[in-house]
Every structure is written in C-alpha cells, then in structure tokens.
Structure 1
Amino acid sequence: MPAATLIIDPAFTIAPVNRRTFGTFVEHMGRCVYTGIYEPGHATADEDGFRKDVLELTRELGVSVVRYPGGNFVSGYRWEDGVGPRDERPRRLDLAWHSIETNEFGLDEFSRWCAKAGVEPMMALNLGTRGVQEALDLLEYSNHPGGTALSDLREQHGGAPYGIKLWCLGNELDGPWQVGHKTPTEYGRLAAETARVMRMVEPDLELVACGSSSSRMPLFGTWERDVLRETYEFVEYISCHAYYGNDDGDTDSFLASAVNMDRFIESVVATADHVGAELKSSKKIGISFDEWNVWYGDRSRRTDGPHDQWEVAPRRIEDEYNVTDAVVVGNLLISLLRHSDRVGVACLAQLANVIAPIMTEPGGPAWRQPTFHPFAITSRLAAGQVLRVETDSPLTTTDKYGDVAAIDAVATYDDGKVAIFAVNRSTDGPIEVTIDVSRTGVTTVAEALIMHNEDPLATNSATDPDHVVPQQFDAAKLADGKLTVTLPAISWTAVSLSTD
C-alpha cells in the first residue's frame, strides 16, 4: 500500500484560525431567500417568516458571516426597495437572474435574520448602476444611531443600528455579464471614492475591493493591479471568486481543485504585495474569498428559462451534491485555512438551495447535502493556531494540474488540542498515513470522522436525508507520538487529538 508521512509541530504556525473563514452567502437568486431562509406560512416559520429549520441548520453549519444581497443581483439593486412596510415595496425586474424581485425580504429582514442566526452581516454595495451617494445613504440607514433622516427612518421601521462593519465595494465588475460592467480603472476610481467618503462617516469600516471574478478572466492579475493602485490605502481586502466542477468527467483533476485555489490565492497575494511595494506602503492587503464552491451544469449568468418568462424565485442551479463533491469542499477548506495569514474572509456560495449545503422544499422539509458535513465539522474543530503540515505523499496524476500530492492536510493547535483535516484525493486506492504529533504532547484520539462511501456519487435527498453522513473512524490510532490511519480513496477525514 502507498504510504505518506506528515509532521505537525506547534512551532510551525501560519496564523490564528479566523472565524470569518466559515462564512456563507445569501443572494437574491433562485430560491436562496424565498422558500429558502424565508417562507411565511411554512410550518416552522417564526413571526418574521424565517424558516426555523433552516436557522437551526445554519447554526449547526457553524456559519460566522453571511454576505448579502449579492452577487450579480446587487449590481442592479435599490436597497431602499427592501425596507419599510412590505405592502408598500415595489416589484422589480432582476436582470442578473432574469427574475421578478418582490422585495418582501430586504435589509431590515436580513439584519433580524442575522441576529437570530448568530452571524455577522457582510453587506455588498451596488457600484454597477449606483455609486457614492447611494452607498452613503445605505451606510447612514444601517449604522447611524439616530437624529438624521435615514437613521430616523430605520427607527420608524423598528430597527436599532445594524452595526455593519464589513462591506463589499460592488461585485464582479470585471465581468461583461455584470450590470454596470467597468474597466479596472473606472471601477478602481469609483471604489476609492466610495471608500474614502464611507470612512468619513465610520473610519473603522472594513472594505473589500472587487478582484477578478475568476482566475480564468482575460484581465486576471492586471485587474487586481490596476484596481489596487487606486484603492490600496482605502481597503482591507480584495476579493477572489472560484467555482469548481466535474462536468467533463475528469475526476482526478476535480479532486485536485484545491491546487488551483492555492495558486489563485498566492497569485493575488503576489500582485497585491507588488502594488504595495510600488506605493512604498507597509500595509498588507488581505483576501476576501467571498464566493467559492462546487458548481455544475450551465454556467449561464442570466436565465435557465425562456427569455420572455419572468418568475418570482424560480429554481436556479440547485445542484445535487455527492460524496466526491464533499471531499472537494473539505479540501478547499484546507486550502483556505492554509492561507489564513492572508485570507481574512471566505464565503461558501450559497447557503440555501442555490449550489448550497442546505436544501429545502416549499412547505416541506430541509436537509443537509453531503457538502454540509465537512464545512460544519471543520468550523467546529478548527481553533487556535493554523499549523503548516510538512507532507511527504505519493503523487496522483491530473490532466489540469500535473502530478499533485495525493494526501493534502492542514492542522490547528489550541492549548494542547490538535485538529487534523486530511484528504486522499487519489482515485486509485487507500494510502497509509503516519502523522508525527510527538511535539504537540497529545495522547488521546478524542474524535475521528470520515466522509467516504463505496459509491463516490452517493447523495442525500428529501426522502433520504441521511444517506451520506460522516462516519466514526475507529481506524485512527495514536501511540508513541504517532497517529496512524489508512485513508481510502476519495475521502475527507477530521481527527481531533487531546492531552486528556
């Protein structure tokens, strides 16, 4: 059997675990909001119309921050449509997803939902069709304590200040599909102007500039450079977006998707640091990886339906995820944790129904997709410091990325407790892994869980919601400072060790 060795040492620190790594994304797209997190009349709906079954699953998922309201949707959105009495809110055409937006759910509802879910809001601004004044108005409405027209209006609507600190300066404005698509210089100037005046109101805001919508975009790299030349001193983060799929059946490359995420992050970091050097700045720009996931099928940005058909909350990209997808999601989380020194925010897109870990049916149940589990377990176990794991692994060959390590792993260390997250991304067979943890002082396997199935395409459904769940992994053995475990092909594993 092939063998791999890993070394874990508390001295090999990368950065503290950032809770914002475990963010998600709620966009007015498909059924993410309507019949997803919000469904008045549902058997579980509370007084605000929020599905309590989805709220419970959101808390179980371990979500820390939620980005809202888009996404492509935000570039044509008028925030004031979604506040105040519901029966006075206008219905609008949503050009991003070729839908009718009722505005029944808006900023006021989102803020109450965040409070109930126990998550931090991350608000996106419309810099596609709007600009500086609208951003200032939204900031005043959201955060100002009172005594002005818009803050008093919020109070009339029943809301205390929302205290939103994390803001996205637009979304994917490099994309020709985006309403208000711009050149990097056009966008960079607008983002800098917006950031500058927002800080006149609240100097301690955290602001995210739009990076490329994909590392495959023609302007990738030059977009980041030109945008940051305009915005460097006004923002904390630049965004990354990436989606991975297996539409071509190249499972070996799909399982190695984290290799691409690693390269993406490191390329953006290098570009940001280059601009910082040009500007003679000691500041370091962080990464907000505020859209990432597995995404299959037609990648159309507009519509799945007829051009003349406009519906309220139509079903859009409701991907059914399998075990292999869950392994990839677990590996992408390993990549994000591994880059915790620069990735300050990350958002799994999206939370409910739309390429989501949580699925619902209108008037019916909510259930966990297989991808739910590695996210929830990693969020629960990762704590303290992220450690660099020294790995000696057999290689697996991929068409897209060449030869890559079959075993990929990251670890965290927190006051005598170690959490290890590892994948076997080989399709060939099991690999025997020996992990040297002697320098950590741990003596006990507190918990070991694995995502694996003899059928790597196994899924969950409304009628069989627990077909794919994490299994106890009794094969993990710790003795004499070494953890030994045999990881089957296409598997994700989490092991928690302690000194007890």
Structure 2
Amino acid sequence: MASNKAKMILEKDFKIAEIDKRVYGSFIEHLGRAVYGGIYEPGHPQADENGFRQDVIEMVKELQVPLVRYPGGNFVSGYNWEDGVGPVAERPRRLDLAWRTTETNEIGTNEFMKWAELANAEVNMAVNLGTRGIDAARNLVEYCNHPSGSYYSDLRISHGVKDPYKIKTWCLGNEMDGPWQIGHKTAAEYGRIAAEAAKVMKWVDPTIELVACGSSNRNMPTFAEWEATVLDHTYDHVEFISLHQYYGNRDNDVANYLALSLEMDDFIKSVISIADYIKAKKRSKKKINLAFDEWNVWYHSNEQDKKIEPWSIAPPQLEDIYNFEDALLVGCMLITMLKHADRLKIACLAQLVNVIAPIMTEENGTAWKQTIFYPFMHTSVFGRGVALNPIISSPKYDSKDFTDVPVLESTAVYNEEKEELTIFAVNRDLEEGLHLECDIRNFEGYQVIEHIVLENDDLKKTNSAQGTPVEPHTNGNAAIDGGLVTAMLPKLSWNVIRLAKK
C-alpha cells in the first residue's frame, strides 16, 4: 500500500553538526532511592569498598553516559554543600524541604565524584541559588577546581583529595521560576544573582562553562519572558540556557502521546529564537547554546508519591515503571534532540537510577533495565558523530493536539572516523508496518550490519526484576541494493539500522 511507505535521502554533506557527547548525559539527585539504595548500598553483595553497587555502575557504563548532573534538581536549592564534605560521622542530618525527606549527607561531593569516575562520567555540578548565593557558589568552585594554597582547596586536600576535579560544566541553580522552588525568584531577581554568581565562579576558574536556568517547562505562565529577561542579565557570563520537559500519557491516547516530541521540537526552536533575539538586541557575536538538562516521561508514580511518610530516609519516590509505549516516546525525543545538534549541546535524561530512571534496583537484590533503557543506550552508543539532515517523505496523521504528525520519526548519524552510518527510526503507526526506502548512494560500499528492533504487541508491557519481556531483537529485515536501503519497520516500533563500509 502506498499509504504505508516512507522515503528518506541521506547525503554526507547534508550535515547539521557534530554531536556533542554530552547530549547523552543523565542526572542523579538526592531524591528517593537515586543515591541511597540506588548507586550506593554498602551492605549489598555487589557493593565495592566505597559502598557503590557495581551492577549499577556496569549498566551505567553500558549506557555510556558521559555527564551526570548533580546534586539536584529541587534538592540543590536548599543544600549546603559543606554538609557533604569532611568526616562522614560528623556530617549533619538535615530536613530536605524539597522532597520532605531526611538527608543523612552520607554521600556528598567527594563520594559522588568518586562514583562518577568509576562510571566513566564527568559531573555537571549545580550550585544553590535558592537559600544560598554568590559566596557559597564561588567557594564550591574553589573547593572542587582550585589546585591548592587557598582555604577551600586546602580543605579539599585535607579531606583526602589532592588533585582538583576540574569540573567543566556548572548549573546556576535549578528551576528558579517555579513557585515550588526553595528561594523562588522573579526572572529579574534570578538573572541578577545568576550573573553575579557566574562572574565570581569564573574569576575562580575561567575555564568553566555555565548553564543559566530556563523555564521549568514550556507551560509555565512566564515562559519566553523568563528566558529573555534571564539572558538579558546573564548573556555575557553563561554558555547555555536550560530546558526542562516531562511528558505522560494521562488520557491513554497513544497517537497523541507519541506526537508529543513535536511539542518538544517546537519548544527547542522557541528557546533558540529567544536566545538569538537577545544576541541581536545586544549586538553580540556570542551564541548561546541549549542544555536540555531534564527530560523524560514522568507520570506513572504521581499518585503513589502522595502517600510517602514525611521525613523518612530515601523512601521510594518518583519510581515510574515504564511501559513499551514510553520507550517509543523516549526514542522520538532522542531523535528530536539530535535534529538540533547545532544548538543543543547538553541533555540530561532525568534521572539515572530508581527515580524516573532507565535502571532500577531492589534492596539487597538485582538491578534491571526498564523499557526506556534501550532507545537511550542505542542512541548513546551508536549516535556519535555528525547529525545528518535527512530529506524525509512520510505519511502523516492528525491527533487530538497535533496535525500532520509524520508516521516516520527518523534521523541519521554519520561517524566518518569509524565509517559507520546509523539510522534511528520510530514507526508511529498503530495498525501497520511502514515500508522504508532510504537512498544512501552517497555512501559507496556501505552494507547493513544490523537492524535492531524494539517491538511488543502490548503497549502497556513493562519490565521488572522478575523478567524483561520488553527487549530489542536483531531480526530486522533491513537490506541494501544499489545504494537503496529497504526495511519494514513493524507497527509501533523503535528501529536502529546500522551500516558500515565493507
């Protein structure tokens, strides 16, 4: 049938940009069981001498996460970083007002930096601009990045860390536009303190890169005006503006749910426009890039979280159990971000372990992979190189909130060094497979080496510690003949077609 055919043309010269590996970043907040019971469980059979679960570290390495945002999130806006350094026995217990739990401070800056090193990840460190400000921010940079010979660098050395961490990327607070945020500010108030904090942080270490807070989500009443005002204040001092967005299928409308990545696309374009407006206004030659440092599906656990006992320690919070359709949307979101590789340089899947996460753990038990683990892993592992700009013709459909939704959501990445070409594709069709024809005549001598497919007849199917029925297979039928790749993409499926020069 002509209706379920899609065509694609890929050319080596149709480049968007080199993909910054940091778009495959993630996030660990002091929230729920992300830290305690997630990455850190001292009594666990798989725990190392630091108390870190090695089974979790191995899964993080499988995802090849290059950057992890820490320690929040809402948590950071009430966090005194000094509580988490020095002898563990002397650290105070604090009420975490963000999530109404008790923070033991057993894990702090140095422990987390150690974990990140073991997981082959760099840290995207956030500073508290809620209850704290300029002074605490500059002191933390000094503690982490200054070699020696000053109060805070020598304090770090006295805590057993001789060499500076040289943390490159720093977040200037978190979601400061949100009334739920500790120390919530207007755009002007936040813009001023962010600019002043940025100045002194860079005076301590001029090599760092800074992320200013954008809106908490696109539906905030202050969206756009917030970005414009904040950038007006901070433009000369920061490299990035942040975006946050979570989606959910609350109405159980699959066609509409899988189209939400179009909204994400529009959100990204809008923020680029605002940043470029401020660039024009300031007659600046500098370009502000984007950090989508919180993104995921989040809605399954909302009701459960209302029942948590206040001030407990590391209770299960935000433990969404993802189903197959969630993995499809996550795939669409990843493809959307790659389409903006020229401006989107950092992204953090929120979060990494137990809390709205691809990896789940059982106390004293196993670690297992959620459905969303797979599209994230495939994109991170095979999506390194140059994002290409494919010419696509696809059937379209209309849904409740969207018109002209392409049935084929797709992009491609060219790794010139490895002579590899990877096509990522989601078939959004609820009823039938999609016949894909992709012209790659420009890639002479390339052969199909693998066609990975994630599919399931039950959209609501989930994985668990007892088994992972939602797993990819490599039985896709992609083939190449005379520079034309053909493949049948099963209905409602995530596909990775890998080609390499023979």
User: Shorter-chain TM-score: what band?
Assistant: over 0.9
Question: In the alignment, residue 411 of structure 1 is paired with which amino acid?
Answer: A
CA positional deviation for 1:396: 1.9
CA positional deviation for 1:326: 0.8
Written as runs of structure 1 = structure 2, the 5 A alignment for 1:47-86 is 47-86=49-88
Across the aligned residues of Structure 1 and Structure 2, the Cα RMSD in angstroms comes to 1.3
Whether the 8 Å CA contact 1:384–1:412 is kept in 2: the answer is yes
Written as runs of structure 1 = structure 2, the 5 A alignment for 1:280-429 is 280-297=283-300, 299=302, 304-305=306-307, 309-415=310-416, 416-429=419-432
CA positional deviation for 1:442: 4.1
2-side partners of 1:413 and 1:14: how far apart? 11
1:460 is matched with which residue? 463
1:140 is matched with which residue? 142
Written as runs of structure 1 = structure 2, the 5 A alignment for 1:17-416 is 17-159=19-161, 160-297=163-300, 299=302, 304-305=306-307, 309-415=310-416, 416=419
Q: More displaced, 177-186 or 193-202?
A: 193-202
CA positional deviation for 1:297: 3.7
Whether the 8 Å CA contact 2:446–2:500 is kept in 1: the answer is yes
2-side partners of 1:309 and 1:186: how far apart? 31
1-side partners of 2:235 and 2:487: how far apart? 46
CA positional deviation for 1:251: 1.1
Whether the 8 Å CA contact 2:407–2:427 is kept in 1: the answer is yes
Deviation per residue, 1:206-260 (Å, 9 max, x gap): 0000000000000100000000000001000000000011011121111112101
Whether the 8 Å CA contact 2:15–2:388 is kept in 1: the answer is yes
Question: Secondary structure of 2:235's partner?
Answer: helix
Normalised to the residue count of structure 1, the TM-score between the two structures is 0.98
Whether the 8 Å CA contact 2:297–2:330 is kept in 1: the answer is yes
Question: Secondary structure of 1:485's partner?
Answer: strand
Whether the 8 Å CA contact 1:98–1:303 is kept in 2: the answer is no
Whether the 8 Å CA contact 2:301–2:319 is kept in 1: the answer is no
1-side partners of 2:92 and 2:191: how far apart? 32
2-side partners of 1:309 and 1:284: how far apart? 44
Question: In the alignment, residue 115 of structure 2 is paired with which amino acid?
Answer: W
2-side partners of 1:450 and 1:17: how far apart? 23
1:5 is matched with which residue? 7
Question: In the alignment, residue 441 of structure 1 is paired with which amino acid?
Answer: E
2-side partners of 1:142 and 1:11: how far apart? 42
Give 5+ residue unaligned stretches, structure 1: none
Question: In the alignment, residue 52 of structure 2 is paired with which amino acid?
Answer: F
Question: In the alignment, residue 349 of structure 1 is paired with which amino acid?
Answer: A
Question: Secondary structure of 2:398's partner?
Answer: strand
Question: Secondary structure of 2:157's partner?
Answer: helix
Deviation per residue, 1:351-378 (Å, 9 max, x gap): 0001100000111100111110111111
Normalised to the residue count of structure 2, the TM-score between the two structures is 0.97
Distance verdict in 2 for CA 1:482–1:219, change over 3 Å: same
2-side partners of 1:232 and 1:299: how far apart? 36
CA positional deviation for 1:426: 2.1
Whether the 8 Å CA contact 1:304–1:316 is kept in 2: the answer is no
May I ask how many residue pairs the two structures share in their alignment? Answer: 497
Deviation per residue, 1:255-304 (Å, 9 max, x gap): 1121011101000000000010000001110000000001114658x962
2-side partners of 1:237 and 1:299: how far apart? 30
Give 5+ residue unaligned stretches, structure 2: none
Q: More displaced, 468-477 or 23-32?
A: 468-477
Q: More displaced, 197-206 or 341-350?
A: 197-206
Deviation per residue, 1:158-195 (Å, 9 max, x gap): 11211111000000000000000000000000000000
Question: In the alignment, residue 73 of structure 2 is paired with which amino acid?
Answer: G
1-side partners of 2:237 and 2:429: how far apart? 44
